[in-house]
Amino acid sequence: MEKVLKHIEKLREKPESHRRRVQVLVSGGLALVILILWGVAFSINANPEVAKTENEGSTAPSPLDSIKDDLTATVEQVRDGYVILRGDN
């Protein structure tokens, strides 16, 4: 915990543009972790439509495909936010 506090103190000395970049990256990373956990939690729940398609022999999208799609969308949103933020400097 002491290392984190030292890093925060060093970050306070940096220009605001640098602090904003760090803020966007950290919040984007946390949002990504939450989104992945959320997607995994929903993919684990029994979905009647998925069970129905499995019984009929057709294949349902795998949980990994759903996570990959969510991850791709989140990365694009973070990238767009970073570009907007960088344009404000």
> What's the distance, Cα to Cα, between the start and end of the chain in Å?
31
Model pTM greater than 0.75? no
The enclosing H or E element of 28 equals helix 16-44
Query: For 9-53, what is each residue's pLDDT tens digit?
Result: 998 999 999 999 999 999 999 999 998 888 777 766 645 555 455
Of residues 11 and 63, more confidence is placed in 11
Q: Which of 79, 86, 74 is nearest to 33 (CA)?
A: 74
Dihedral angle over CA of 78, 81, 83, 86, nearest 10: -120
